[in-house]
Structure 1
């Protein structure tokens, strides 16, 4: 959409708002407006949606499945064709998208492209979950929805053709980027508390996880992240945390809880050198390491937050997929 038409829409919308007697309380340019009456307007001038496709010429087939018609939770599945042709069972990666808990969808073109590449280069089936977004649905709703997806897998694993024919449930992984990495951490904690068999969680993949704290971090003021601003971070937390909660709430700051109690599978934390959240990610890694957890960390040089979806031409994406292929393939069933 060109700038003129976008600006035209904004002017018309602004006039309607004045007529209704409401004003914009928060705005994420090109994506979202939150008004003083509590209403929310969503739009997407910056990112387009793409449909799933099972076309034979696609190297990775994809399809959408509704998991909870009451809440609208759904997921997009990705299956590499080479797994189908070989008749083999492949690891299952349960993926949660980013967007500060406020934005994003598995249908976004940037996520669809990355999921196709990740499925192909790690030879894995991926389930990319569409959870409900804030501020309409504040945390812990995203955690609830994503754990619902895990529960759905347990119950439907033998009734969905792709799952029953191609998924290796003894090799399941929780993964996510940014807010999705935060979600993956919290869902992993929940999975450790209940029986999720036949799913066996072999690893936790965190790509630039979206963590924070009430105390300011000096590095956040020094790093020039090309993909994430401090203002957006502040708005994300303002709109997503439970009403009245501060940033030392466990949803934002996992280190506000005793780390030794975390029951997690092996963890890999992928950090971007120019990420505004780099220090938060490093603190998380070091805390897990000090607590004796099975955790590794890799820093990707020269790139900012969520480069794998925001900078699709980055040469670092190949390094990332190779790392994840090694992590997944090395976690064989016991």
Structure 2
């Protein structure tokens, strides 16, 4: 198996912006159970997306889906300088997003977590005011 060349000079990645990141796992979270019948992203659709995206023979605890699973990829997490995570408390994946923020902090990553009490997954795709707010949050993070 070939590995990708990771020398991206002169490009320097100084941080990550994650807007409502999609994470999964085999064990169901409270938000997955609470929003299982969500109109935007119901749990069966989320499971289907993962079944199509993950390598054959793996489950939702694969590191591409569930970065909280212990493994060698955790050494790479420590290389992230800073990270912005934007989420909404009505998102089916909000518990996983918050767990991800906790993992980043434990790994020593500088994290800015912005979780709005009101909203759902992809609200910024249907609400122009929310879209503008997310853009401004990202802009402030990048310029800050």
What is residue 85 of structure 2 aligned with on the other side?
269
The SS at the match of 1:255 is: coil
CA pair 229-320 structure 1, distance change in 2 beyond 3 A: same
What is residue 316 of structure 1 aligned with on the other side?
130
What is residue 19 of structure 2 aligned with on the other side?
207
What is residue 109 of structure 2 aligned with on the other side?
293
In the alignment, structure 1 residue 198 sits paired with structure 2 residue 14 = no
In the alignment, structure 1 residue 245 sits paired with structure 2 residue 58 = yes
In the alignment, structure 1 residue 255 sits paired with structure 2 residue 71 = no
TM-score normalised per structure 2: 0.85
Aligned-residue offset at 1:212: 0.8
Give the whole-Å Cα distance in 2 for the aligned partners of 1:240 and 1:261: 22
Find the partner of 1:306 among 90, 104, 122. Answer: 122
- Structure exhibiting the larger radius of gyration computed from Cα positions: 1
The SS at the match of 1:194 is: coil
Q: Which of structures 1 and 2 has the larger relative contact order (alpha carbons within 8 angstroms, sep 6+)?
A: 2
Aligned-residue offset at 1:287: 0.8
In the alignment, structure 1 residue 234 sits paired with structure 2 residue 44 = no
Aligned-residue offset at 1:296: 1.4
More strand per residue? 1
Give the whole-Å Cα distance in 2 for the aligned partners of 1:301 and 1:317: 16
Q: Tell me if the contact between 1:271 and 1:278 (Cα under 8 Å) persists in the aligned partners.
A: yes
TM-score normalised per structure 1: 0.39
* 1:182-240 residue CA offsets vs partner (Å, 9 max, x unmatched): xxxxxxxx7xx822111111220001111111111122111364421111001111122
What is residue 219 of structure 1 aligned with on the other side?
31
The SS at the match of 1:201 is: coil
Aligned-residue offset at 1:260: 5.0
Give the whole-Å Cα distance in 1 for the aligned partners of 2:82 and 2:61: 25
CA pair 282-270 structure 1, distance change in 2 beyond 3 A: same
Q: Tell me if the contact between 2:31 and 2:91 (Cα under 8 Å) persists in the aligned partners.
A: no
**Which segments of 5 or more consecutive residues in structure 1 lack a partner in the other structure?**
1-189
